[in-house]
Amino acid sequence: MSIATDGSLTLVQSVDNPLGNVGELAISPNGTYLLSGTGYTEEIYPIAANGTLATSPSGSFVTTVASLYPLLFNHNDLYIGIGGSTSHAVDQFSWLDTAGTATALNPASISTDPDPEWLAVDKTGTYLFALTRTNKLIDQFVIGAGGVLTANPNGASVPVTGATDTYTAMAVR
């Protein structure tokens, strides 16, 4: 899609994902790559100067477990919510925009409450919040040196009140 000055969207190109099941999409910080969450594998598609996508991915990387949950960039760090029956975490990566590659940070993931459905970072880039679907909690993390997440020692998980369905969205201002 291209975004007009009035905010309206126009389809530039549609690309079929070879793995079929897409969870989330994210654009790299410099706007040259689109990431597509498709399960265990995150596909990386180059974006041409005219806004079109390559018809096949230029590369991929593997998450710790199957993920159809959020992808979020914060500067040159990439965070991916991981849910399912056996793992509840945020995987964390360093992103190299010039090459379109992701490298796992140490540790590669941090635990969350079940099913981190939405991720958001505050405007300073200091805190990450994970909205978990199963328990309807917002987990709080500090983004430290090199993008590594740690549990926020000043904030416990916060319950989401008034949520009536299992899918809720979150935005941070």
Each residue's pLDDT, cut to its tens digit, for the chain (173 residues) gives: 455 565 555 656 555 544 455 567 888 888 888 887 766 667 788 888 888 887 777 777 666 555 556 788 888 888 888 776 566 888 898 988 788 888 889 998 898 888 888 888 888 899 998 888 778 888 999 999 999 999 988 877 888 776 555 555 555 54
In a domain, 165, yes or no: no
In a domain, 128, yes or no: yes
Provide the whole-model pTM. Answer: 0.75
Domain harbouring 37, CATH code: 2.130.10.10
In a domain, 82, yes or no: yes
* 10-45: b (≥16 Cβ within 10 Å) or e: eeeeeeeeeeeeebbebebeeeebbbbbbbebbbbb
Encoded tokens for 61: 């990387």
In a domain, 169, yes or no: no
In a domain, 73, yes or no: yes
Q: How far apart are CA 105 and CA 83, in angstroms?
A: 19
Residue 29's domain comprises 2-159
Number of domains in the chain: 1
